Structure 1
Amino acid sequence: MVRCIEHDPSLEQCPDYASPAYEQTRQLFATARNLTKEQVVQTLTTSWTADNDNQKAQWTIQQDQERLEREQAEQQVREAERLARLEAKQADEADHLETEHKRPKMKEPDLSGCIGSFFLLNPLRPSPWALKRIKEYGYVPIWYTCDEGCIDAAADLRSPDDDALGFVKADNLVALRPVNSVRALRSAIPDEQLTWHQFKLGHYCFIDLIKQHKWPPSNIQMLANFFSQIQYSMHHSLPNREHTLLIYQATTRREWHEALDRDKGFDLDGINKTRLAAIFASLRQEEHVKAISEVSTCCPLQDRAPITNHISPCNLNPPKTTIILQRNPTQFNTTQRNSTQLGWTFHFPTTSFNLPHSIPIHIALLPSANVQPAKTVPTAQRRRI
């Protein structure tokens, strides 16, 4: 192992071996080696000089080694600092990229385009909820894209609770969003209850919106054809047919969106006449029940007496409803206009009721002794059922 030199040998001076301090040393050397005083001094000086030169060489090597070790240590420190700075820079860049990724991007315009000539002073826009649903390719009622829906949406945006927030789920996290963007309008009208005029105007705006939000072209064309088939159907001019077609449109389109969510979409082309007939029959049944209810409640009884007579029109297969006459009629006439129209007209001293042939009737005539007199109905308030 090389001896570590603590001081620079070049700074040392050769001792004066001819001085009295080294007298004993000179005598020992002279006796041992049979040398003169001058020879001893020369020998000691030469020996020290050789040892000092050797130490100088070792010192130089030692200094070089220490300098190399220091340089290596400094290099390691500098490398560690460089790596730390690099890691910090990479972390900052990653944070910046993540922030930029989350930050809304403003798209750059197409410089080949120009300002349009069409102008609207106060353009109508659907509600934020409807626009959000369209961006998510979800079902949106047509009412939201017609004028009434856009006007209500504008009024709702100016309401006092503009700052109200609601919870929404986004990326498996719960976040707060403005209530206007997470809830439907309270005044919204379902597609089944639209007017025919609202449907005709609203579905054009709906098609324009889904084009703007880049829906698949095939789906846009399918919906456009579907709406066109509904609008120009030869059935819409018949009684109740517009309501039937509106219900057909609403239920079919809603089922179409639900099927797409399950990856089981279907073609909207063509009107399913069986489905349309079922909807029409359901509406007729509702009207039938409503008419029966109105006829049954137009002359309520306080105490019903036993039925004494029955008059029933013939050739009516549906179930009959019973009308109780609360006072003895002074006149009772029936007329049959032709073989296809059967009408019944009941005349009383104070009022009369006209019943269409489509409502089956079961009439019970009660004796006046057991029934309280009916309330007199002025002619202006007489009701046609």
Structure 2
Amino acid sequence: MADPSLEICPDFARDLYARIRDDLVAATGAEPQAVIDRLIGTWTEGHQARVLKWNQQREEEARAEAEIEQAQAERVKEERLAKEAETEKEHLDSEKKKPKMNGFNATPTVGDAIAPHPSQYAIQKLNNFEYVELWYFSPNRCKEAMKTAQSITDDTFSLAKLDDQLTIHPALAFKASRAAIPDHDLPFSIFLRAKNSFLTHTSTAKWPQAHLDALALFYWHLKNHAIQDNSELGDMVILHYASRVRLDWHDHLKRNEGFNIRIINETLMQSINEEMWNCVRSRALNPVCPGQLDPLRTTSN
């Protein structure tokens, strides 16, 4: 459709329109000039209506085109933002996978002494809040662990989950030692030193403070328990109590039935004392009877 604004009003006075004029004069009885004016007026009204409709259509088309362009621009913007977000996510994921090295304080130097460090197996147990024998934290075992860590040539590796990510470590780092012994078979002096190292490393492993406090008081109460003065087998009784109760504590924690380990069960303590004396008395009859027995799973109610 052509632009009606470009239309030119016909000259109705020309001979071309004479027949129309004559018919209108005959039909209406009007003067010829009045008929011409009427024809011009009718054409003008139609012309204005066509121009108005044309302009409305052009405006509607312009609005539709603008909406299409806006929608396209928004789609392009959304695609760009999505691509930028994906790129940022890939960057963050890549950063998470990179090994992290913490900063350091430029002022202090290394300490006058370096604390003994247990094996990676023991550290992994602590990081997983699992039971591990105190033997791994004894001075001699820590020295052996440091030597082993410096001389590992084994090319076998294992997968381990750390901070929700799978990491690869030497397989030896996650194998229990065949030489490990239960807590109740440790010499009492080694037991005391090992439990100190154990408590230090449980704190480093970020155990809950309530658990750390309970364990610290547990060992403090045992170290200072009166049974050591009242029984010739006091050290052995303490070792068995500590060994059995801590293992049982971990078992109960796994079942979400944890008890307060810091509270010493005197009934259980006396029961173990009697058990040790019975074993001593029976040695003459049964040389195989050990001084240390397998842990009993007994807890306070």
**What TM-score does the superposition give when structure 1 sets the normalisation length?**
0.55
Among 60, 70, 82, the alignment partner of 2:55 is: 60
Are the equivalent residues in 1 in contact too, given 2:218–2:262 (CA < 8 A)?
no
**After superposition, what is the alpha-carbon deviation per residue over 1:238-288, rounded to whole angstroms, capped at 9, x for unaligned?**
5x7655543343223322333444223444437623312303433553564
Alpha-carbon distance, 1:165 to partner? 1.1
Residue in 1 aligned with 2:20?
Answer: 25
* SS of equivalent to 1:234: helix
Task: Structure 2: state its 5+ residue gaps.
Answer: 290-301
Q: Structure 1 residues 193-202 or 159-168, which shifts more?
A: 159-168
Are the equivalent residues in 2 in contact too, given 1:127–1:144 (CA < 8 A)?
yes
State, as a whole percentage, how many aligned pairs show the same letter: 21
Residue in 2 aligned with 1:143?
Answer: 135
Among 239, 249, 255, the alignment partner of 1:256 is: 249
Based on CA coordinates, which of the two structures has the bigger radius of gyration?
1
Structure 1 residue 290 corresponds to structure 2 residue 282: no
* SS of equivalent to 1:125: coil
**After superposition, what is the alpha-carbon deviation per residue over 1:21-40, rounded to whole angstroms, capped at 9, x for unaligned?**
44543443344345666655
Q: Using a 3 Å threshold, how does the CA distance of structure 1 residues 29 and 142 change in structure 2: closer, same or farther? A: same
* SS of equivalent to 1:144: helix
Residue in 2 aligned with 1:160?
Answer: 153
Among 264, 267, 271, the alignment partner of 1:274 is: 271
Are the equivalent residues in 2 in contact too, given 1:126–1:153 (CA < 8 A)?
yes
Are the equivalent residues in 1 in contact too, given 2:13–2:36 (CA < 8 A)?
yes
**1:120-269 alignment, distance < 5 Å:** 120=113, 124-157=116-149, 158-161=151-154, 163-166=156-159, 178=169, 179-180=171-172, 182-212=174-204, 213-214=206-207, 215-216=209-210, 217-229=212-224, 233-234=228-229, 238=232, 242-243=235-236, 245-261=238-254, 262-269=257-264
* SS of equivalent to 2:44: helix
**1:62-101 alignment, distance < 5 Å:** 62-75=57-70, 78=73
Are the equivalent residues in 2 in contact too, given 1:225–1:269 (CA < 8 A)?
no
Among 4, 8, 15, the alignment partner of 2:3 is: 8
**1:291-310 alignment, distance < 5 Å:** none
Aligned partners of 1:287 and 1:91: how far apart in 2?
A: 77
Are the equivalent residues in 1 in contact too, given 2:214–2:262 (CA < 8 A)?
no
Aligned residues: 280
Task: Structure 1: state its 5+ residue gaps.
Answer: 1-5, 293-385
* SS of equivalent to 1:233: helix
Aligned partners of 2:234 and 2:264: how far apart in 1?
A: 19
Q: Using a 3 Å threshold, how does the CA distance of structure 1 residues 152 and 70 change in structure 2: closer, same or farther? A: same
Q: Which amino acid aligns with 1:12?
A: E
Are the equivalent residues in 2 in contact too, given 1:222–1:269 (CA < 8 A)?
no
Alpha-carbon distance, 1:51 to partner? 1.9
Q: Which amino acid aligns with 1:135?
A: N
Are the equivalent residues in 2 in contact too, given 1:244–1:280 (CA < 8 A)?
no
Q: Using a 3 Å threshold, how does the CA distance of structure 1 residues 260 and 165 change in structure 2: closer, same or farther? A: closer
* SS of equivalent to 2:264: coil
Among 113, 118, 136, the alignment partner of 2:111 is: 118
* SS of equivalent to 2:118: coil
Indicate the structure with greater strand content: 1
Q: Using a 3 Å threshold, how does the CA distance of structure 1 residues 135 and 169 change in structure 2: closer, same or farther? A: closer
Q: Which amino acid aligns with 2:219?
A: A
**After superposition, what is the alpha-carbon deviation per residue over 1:73-130, rounded to whole angstroms, capped at 9, x for unaligned?**
5555555666666677778778888888999987777x8x96266234x653112222
Aligned partners of 1:235 and 1:166: how far apart in 2?
A: 50
